[in-house]
């Protein structure tokens, strides 16, 4: 109980460290105080803003400028028509962000010989583009969330999305960026690992187990605050099942790709 109280206290007091002289810097506070949104108002966003967000994705940097991404867009009506339900959390627009090695392979056939490396770089670049879109939305006063699991929206629903979005071999859906307006005031940040656990000087330093456990205690308490009627371990078990299915599908696909070479 004391442990849970400590976790709770640390969760509600946790804040990114922003030096005093940067506290009035609008860009810095926008980036550091960005939070995922789980309650959109349903109000639409305009095409001009939506296109500007996509433009930020298109102009993101990428390995050797190969732009190994594809963005599949939906209005709320289009999402409903395609998926028979609303955009999660009542979002106004959605972008399925895919890592795309298919496009370049049409020209640069040599990349087929290294599916694993090509795909790893493509996934990394897709993450870069995703964050550039996310921050751009934030700058426009549009809130967002990147979904990995909430109802057929990410890598864990690989086969479903591949079929529904007609993805060719080499295009892997990773996440859905949901965008919209919200009246939600900025919520507390999900528990971050301590700085020493992720920032290392000159070489890798394994995170001591007690630090990891302390963080995981905060994760459990944080999860309860977000979903009072569920708990983190059953969520993880659910995740794990979906991960195993996706693992089988992806490994199968990579094998096939290697054989086709």
Q: Which of 8, 41, 86, 149 binds a second copy (CB under 8 A)?
A: 149
Nearer to a second copy, 12 or 117 (CB): 117
Structure tokens at 211: 């630090």
**Which CB atom, from 204 or from 229, has the smaller least distance to a second copy?**
204
Q: Which of residues 22-41 bind a second copy (CB under 8 A)?
A: 22, 25-28, 30-32, 34, 36
Q: Which is nearer to a second copy, 72 or 92 (CB)?
A: 72
Work out whether 58 is an interface residue with a second copy (CB under 8 A): yes
Does residue 236 touch a second copy according to CB under 8 A?
Answer: yes
CB 141 to a second copy: min, Å: 11
Q: Would the CA dihedral through 133, 138, 143, 148 be positive or negative? A: positive
**Pattern 80-119, a second copy, x by CB under 8 A:** --x---------------xxx-xx--xxx-xx-xxxxxxx
Q: What is the spatial distance between Cα 87 and Cα 207, in angstroms, rounded to a whole number?
A: 38
Between 7 and 70, CB nearer to a second copy = 70
Classify residue 243 as exposed, middle or buried by CB count within 10 Å of its CB (0-12, 13-18, 19+).
middle
* Residue selected from 4, 51, 186, 187 as contacting a second copy according to rule CB under 8 A: 51
Question: For a second copy, which stretch binds (CB under 8 A), given 5-13, 85-93, 129-137, 179-187?
Answer: 129-137
| Pairing verdict, β 171-180 and 69-75 | unpaired
Pick from 55, 25, 42, 77: which is nearest to 137 by CA?
55
Least distance CB 5 / a second copy (angstroms):
21
Instruction: Among 1, 13, 24, 65, indicate the residue that binds a second copy (CB under 8 A).
Output: 65
| Window contacting a second copy (CB under 8 A); options: 1-9, 84-92, 178-186, 197-205 | 197-205
Q: Which residues pair with 176 in a beta bridge?
A: 96, 147
CB closer to a second copy out of 86 and 114: 114
Helix (H) or strand (E) holding 174: strand 171-180
Contacts of 173 (CB under 8 A, 6+ apart): 96, 97, 98, 154, 155, 157, 158, 161, 162, 165, 167
- For 135, the token pair is 């921050």
What is the C-alpha separation between 73 and 177, in angstroms, rounded? 10
Cβ contact 162:173 at 8 Å? yes
Please identify, among the stretches 1-9, 85-93, 164-172, 180-188, the one whose residues bind a second copy according to the rule CB under 8 A. 164-172
Rule CB under 8 A: choose which of 7, 11, 74, 93 binds a second copy: 74
CB of 60 to a second copy, least distance (A): 7
């Amino acid at each position: 109980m004391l442990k849970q109280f400590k976790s709770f206290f640390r969760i509600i007091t946790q804040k990114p460290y922003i030096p005093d002289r940067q506290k009035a810097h609008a860009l810095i506070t926008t980036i550091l105080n960005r939070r995922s949104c789980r309650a959109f108002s349903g109000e639409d966003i305009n095409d001009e803003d939506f296109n500007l967000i996509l433009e930020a994705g298109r102009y993101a940097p990428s390995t050797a400028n190969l732009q190994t991404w594809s963005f599949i867009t939906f209005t709320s009506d289009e999402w409903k028509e395609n998926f028979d339900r609303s955009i999660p959390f009542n979002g106004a627009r959605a972008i399925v962000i895919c890592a795309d090695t298919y496009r370049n392979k049409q020209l640069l056939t040599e990349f087929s010989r290294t599916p694993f490396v090509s795909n790893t770089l493509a996934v990394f670049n897709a993450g870069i583009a995703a964050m550039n879109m996310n921050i751009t939305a934030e700058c426009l006063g549009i809130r967002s969330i990147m979904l990995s699991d909430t109802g057929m929206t990410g890598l864990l629903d690989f086969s479903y999305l591949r079929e529904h979005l007609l993805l060719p071999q080499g295009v892997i859906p990773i996440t859905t960026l949901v965008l919209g307006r919200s009246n939600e005031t900025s919520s507390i940040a999900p528990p971050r690992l301590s700085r020493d656990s992720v920032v290392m000087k000159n070489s890798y330093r394994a995170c001591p187990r007690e630090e990891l456990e302390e963080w995981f205690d905060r994760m459990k308490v944080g999860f309860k605050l977000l979903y009072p009627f569920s708990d983190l371990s059953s969520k993880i078990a659910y995740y794990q099942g979906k991960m195993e299915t996706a693992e089988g599908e992806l490994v199968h696909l990579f094998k096939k790709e290697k054989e086709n070479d």
